[in-house]
């Protein structure tokens, strides 16, 4: 199980900071739902980026509805045309929609509903499977086609509002085989879009796969608070962490690795206590904002606590722009079952090593 | 059975007007019936279930050209609605709509005067009617699409007197429109689901210079000209939640309109029980109770709440349990009873005066 993404919308300047979500995103910050987080309005669209496609995901989102017929959570794959989403009607009821081609099929609306402007925690679990309709010469002739079976469950504040299965309309196969019909291999989930338009707002966003409900969750953002390793060259002064803990981010203050093998490592703010005593920590996400001024060279990887706990390799864009890189961890490094503790988070360090 | 009630008194309508209405507004205004506070605006509410019979009543100042009551069902793509309408001469008629408006009822013989207070009540029974498709015939080549309309039997009372009644059919809607052709349109009944040609929402409107108060909704029973009396927590009986200020829990939750700076907090499963103001003496029956609490969740994590009623040594849970949303949105959660949960009979004034109640955090 892995987090694909976690975002509390707190660390970026969403209006000016171009972020690691794809284009078509347009959001602005609004009054936060909680003192420690930010809330945003607008559209966030994020393509996972092939080959990152999934058949089993769960999306969590704190969402303030504006009761104007919005679709807070959409899962899609633009390469195949698959789209599924939950809709919220003018009386605060939800339904689930799915399409592969043309108008979506949709479920009946939920009996349970949410009130106007209420802030609720939505979680949508979706599992997809593709269904092949073979060619039949007939009569009547049946063309070869595919449709998708989508199993869904929507929870609001941990309560099940909708669940079941629905089939998409068919998409007819034209041509002869996978090479000429690449969409067949993309009958799954390749992107997510979350919406909070008009007076709506959203925060505390997660996606994991295989999809597991994490419940009403809050995301706390911790920033570098002290230097541990300082091989990099600071853009100004001698204190490294202070150049990478500004929020919203300021890319004019940074630390540079001028040679392979160099490491920068930082410890972090203390995790604030929260009401309700000890709660479950569902996971962490390390985030690095990286750019390279050396075209076509420069590869780095992040790490936790020591250089042996690696993230995947990151390759910053060579055009000089900065990009966010992300690594989500539900369990402590190396474990598939041991959850993070407050103590472990309060002693964590994150770093970066240049290897290329 | 009582399904919903609102006195429009305990909230600040102008500030907290959407805290349990699905959509709409209700600004408080003085000079209600009997000196109560009244509301001005439109209150839309989703009852959370489909009903084939509902009755709605409220005090209302006559406002020519307006429709004080509308029942509707917009679930699953349904377009059914029906309403009682006041024309510009002060007479009433009833209309029903299912995409297209059917023939309205005749107007009432009696009329009301603009700006005066009346207690108006509307009872509606809906019956969906199916017109099967007919194939075209040779001459003329005209067929008929499969369609549904809704038969509405209604009774409208003013100050307890029946002014208008009868049967009105809505206009028809073709069931093959929209996504219906592939079986994904849920509004007409089918072999697998009950459809939504019924009532699940209401709108109570007193727009412009109009006023309204003492709103009730039942699943059929006329309650007649009735009024709400609001009772607020008056003392602590048994409390374990933490007051935001001082040491008296009840004093933090009896402000009206609510004061967001005063509240009690439960960071784990805890319960408070309060006694309430005495019910002023009156002649008549207690037709029901609405136990309201205003809640806010300030952290992530699962939280479920309920209310409880206590009489002597007996405690009964509210019918509903809720999982409040987070953030800064205070919400009213209401539990509606038309009879005492302790006796199964009408509440008595003595029983109300001895009643204790309060909130519980379950998880």
DSSP for A280-319 reads ----EEEEEEE--SSTT---EEEEESSTTSEEEEE---TT
Under 8 Å between Cβ of A248 and A41: no
Average pLDDT over chain B, rounded to whole?
Answer: 88
Q: Scan residues 16-45 of A and list those with Cβ closer than 8 Å to B.
A: 31, 33-34, 39
Query: Which pLDDT score is estimated for A343?
Result: 87
Return the higher-pLDDT residue of B316 and B180. Answer: B316
Q: Is A276 touching B (CB cutoff 8 A)?
A: yes
Q: Is B257 touching A (CB cutoff 8 A)?
A: no
Q: What average pLDDT does this structure show over B310-323?
A: 93
A69 HSE (CA, 13 A, CB side) = 4
Under 8 Å between Cβ of B264 and B296: no
Q: What is the CA radius of gyration of chain A?
A: 22
What confidence tier does A294 reach under pLDDT thresholds 50, 70, 90?
confident
Q: Which residue's structure tokens are 């689901």?
A: B193
Taking an 8 Å cut-off on Cβ atoms, the answer to whether B328 and A31 are in contact is yes
Whether the pLDDT of residue B220 is over 50: the answer is yes
Instruction: Find chain B residues with C-beta within 8 A of A39's C-beta.
Output: 327
d(CA B128, CA B50): 13
Instruction: Find chain A residues with C-beta within 8 A of B18's C-beta.
Output: 115-117
What confidence tier does B157 reach under pLDDT thresholds 50, 70, 90?
very high
Which helix (H) or strand (E) covers residue A346, if one does?
helix A342-346
Q: Is B192 touching A (CB cutoff 8 A)?
A: no
Q: What is the pLDDT of residues B273-290, one digit of tens each?
A: 999 999 998 889 999 999
SS3 assignment, position A186: helix
d(CA A149, CA A166): 6
Q: Is B46 touching A (CB cutoff 8 A)?
A: yes
Under 8 Å between Cβ of B5 and B223: no
What confidence tier does A279 reach under pLDDT thresholds 50, 70, 90?
low
Specify the pTM: 0.89
Whether the pLDDT of residue A249 is over 80: the answer is no
Total beta-carbon pairs less than 8 A apart between chain A and chain B: 123
Query: Looking at CA atoms only, how far is residue B195 from chain A in angstroms?
Result: 9
What confidence tier does A295 reach under pLDDT thresholds 50, 70, 90?
low
CB neighbourhood size of A57 (10 A) = 22
Backbone angles phi, psi at A54, to 5 degrees: -130, 155
Q: Scan residues 303-322 of B and list those with Cβ closer than 8 Å to A.
A: 303-304
What confidence tier does A151 reach under pLDDT thresholds 50, 70, 90?
very high
Whether the pLDDT of residue A275 is over 90: the answer is no
> From B21, which residue of chain A is nearest by alpha-carbon distance?
A115
Q: What is the pLDDT of residues A60-78, one digit of tens each?
A: 999 998 877 889 999 999 8
> From A107, which residue of chain B is nearest by alpha-carbon distance?
B184
What confidence tier does A297 reach under pLDDT thresholds 50, 70, 90?
confident
Task: Kindly list the distances between the CA atom of residue B363 and the CA atoms of A289, B269, B360, in Å, as whole numbers in the listed order.
Answer: 39, 5, 9
Q: What is the pLDDT of residues A28-51, one digit of tens each?
A: 767 777 766 778 888 888 888 767
Query: Looking at CA atoms only, how far is residue B111 from chain A in angstroms?
Result: 33
SS3 assignment, position A14: coil
d(CA A352, CA A301): 6
Q: Is B74 touching A (CB cutoff 8 A)?
A: yes
ipTM of the prediction: 0.88
What residues have CB less than 8 Å from A276, skipping those under 6 apart? Answer: B267, B268, B299, B301
Planar angle of CA B321, A217, A308, nearest 5 degrees:
155
Query: Looking at CA atoms only, how far is residue B189 from chain A in angstroms?
Result: 12
Taking an 8 Å cut-off on Cβ atoms, the answer to whether A93 and B328 are in contact is no
Whether the pLDDT of residue B307 is over 50: the answer is yes
SS3 assignment, position B305: strand
What confidence tier does B181 reach under pLDDT thresholds 50, 70, 90?
very low
Q: Which residue's structure tokens are 């049967």?
A: B167
What end-to-end distance do the CA atoms of chain A give, in Å?
Answer: 30
Looking at the partner chain, which of B20, B267, B329 has a beta carbon nearest the beta carbon of A119?
A: B329
Query: Which pLDDT score is estimated for A110?
Result: 94
What residues have CB less than 8 Å from A219, skipping those under 6 apart? Answer: A6, A7, A8, A10, A37, A203, A204, A205, A206
Q: What is the pLDDT of residues A308-332, one digit of tens each?
A: 687 878 888 777 778 778 888 888 8
Q: What is the pLDDT of residues B322-355, one digit of tens each?
A: 988 877 678 889 999 999 999 999 999 999 999 9
Looking at the partner chain, which of A39, A92, A215 has a beta carbon nearest the beta carbon of B302?
A: A215
Query: Which pLDDT score is estimated for A267?
Result: 94
């Amino acid at each position: 199980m892995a987090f694909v993404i976690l975002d509390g919308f707190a660390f970026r300047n969403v209006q000016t900071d171009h972020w690691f979500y794809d284009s078509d995103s347009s959001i602005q910050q609004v009054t936060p739902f909680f003192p420690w987080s930010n809330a945003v309005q607008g559209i966030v669209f994020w393509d996972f980026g092939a080959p990152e496609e999934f058949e089993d995901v769960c999306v969590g989102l704190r969402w303030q509805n504006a009761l104007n017929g919005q679709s807070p959570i959409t899962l899609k794959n633009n390469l195949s045309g698959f789209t599924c989403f939950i809709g919220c009607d003018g009386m605060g009821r939800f339904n689930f929609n799915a399409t592969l081609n043309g108008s979506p099929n949709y479920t009946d609306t939920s009996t349970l509903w949410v009130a106007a402007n209420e802030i609720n925690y939505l979680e949508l679990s979706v599992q997809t499977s593709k269904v092949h309709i073979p060619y039949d010469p007939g009569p009547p002739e049946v063309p070869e086609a595919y449709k998708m079976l989508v199993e869904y469950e929507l929870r609001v504040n941990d309560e099940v509002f909708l669940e079941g299965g629905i089939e998409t309309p068919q998409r007819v196969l034209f041509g002869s085989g996978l090479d000429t019909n690449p969409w067949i291999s993309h009958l799954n989930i390749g992107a997510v879009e979350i919406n909070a338009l008009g007076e709506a707002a959203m925060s505390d966003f997660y996606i994991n796969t295989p999809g597991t409900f994490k419940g009403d969750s809050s995301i706390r953002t911790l920033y570098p608070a002290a230097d541990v390793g300082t091989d990099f060259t600071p853009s100004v002064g001698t204190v490294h962490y202070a150049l990478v803990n500004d929020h919203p981010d300021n890319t004019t203050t940074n630390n540079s690795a001028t040679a392979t093998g160099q490491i920068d490592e930082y410890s972090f703010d203390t995790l604030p206590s929260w009401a309700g005593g000890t709660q479950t920590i569902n996971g962490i996400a390390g985030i690095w904002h990286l750019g390279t001024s050396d075209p076509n060279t420069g590869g780095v990887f992040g790490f936790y606590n020591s250089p042996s706990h690696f993230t995947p390799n990151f390759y910053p864009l060579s055009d000089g722009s900065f990009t966010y890189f992300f690594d989500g961890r539900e369990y402590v490094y190396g474990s598939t079952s041991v959850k993070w503790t407050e103590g472990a988070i309060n002693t964590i360090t994150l770093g970066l090593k240049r290897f290329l | 059975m009582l399904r919903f009630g609102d006195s429009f008194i305990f909230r600040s309508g102008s500030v907290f007007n959407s805290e349990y209405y699905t959509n709409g507004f209700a600004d408080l205004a003085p000079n209600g019936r009997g000196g109560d506070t009244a509301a001005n605006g439109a209150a839309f509410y989703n009852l959370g279930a489909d009903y084939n019979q509902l009755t709605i009543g409220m005090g209302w100042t006559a406002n020519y050209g307006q429709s004080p009551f509308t029942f509707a069902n917009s679930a699953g793509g349904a377009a059914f609605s029906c309403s009682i309408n006041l024309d510009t001469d002060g007479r009433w008629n009833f209309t029903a709509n299912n995409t297209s408006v059917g023939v309205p009822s005749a107007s009432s013989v009696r009329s009301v005067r603009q700006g005066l207070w009346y207690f108006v009540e509307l009872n509606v029974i809906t019956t969906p009617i199916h017109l099967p498709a007919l194939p075209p015939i040779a001459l003329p080549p005209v067929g008929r699409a499969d369609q549904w309309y809704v038969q509405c039997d209604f009774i409208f009372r003013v100050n307890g007197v029946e002014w208008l009644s009868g049967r009105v059919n809505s206009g028809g809607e073709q069931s093959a429109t929209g996504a219906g052709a592939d079986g994904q349109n849920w509004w007409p009944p089918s072999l697998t689901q009950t459809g939504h040609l019924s009532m699940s929402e209401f709108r109570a409107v007193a727009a412009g210079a109009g006023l309204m108060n003492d709103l009730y909704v039942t699943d059929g029973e006329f309650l007649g000209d009735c009024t709400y009396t609001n009772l607020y927590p008056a003392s602590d009986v048994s409390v374990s939640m933490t007051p935001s200020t001082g040491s008296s829990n009840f004093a933090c939750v009896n402000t009206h309109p609510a004061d967001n700076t005063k509240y009690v907090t439960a960071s784990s499963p805890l319960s408070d029980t309060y006694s309430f103001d005495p019910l002023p003496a009156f002649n008549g029956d207690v037709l029901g109770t609405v136990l309201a609490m205003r809640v806010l969740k300030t952290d992530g994590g699962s939280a479920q709440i309920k209310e409880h009623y206590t009489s002597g040594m007996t405690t009964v849970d509210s019918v509903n349990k809720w999982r409040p949303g987070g953030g800064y949105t205070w919400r009213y959660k209401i539990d509606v009873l038309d009879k005492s949960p302790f006796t199964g009979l009408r509440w008595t004034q003595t029983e109300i005066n001895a009643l204790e109640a309060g909130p519980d955090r379950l998880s």
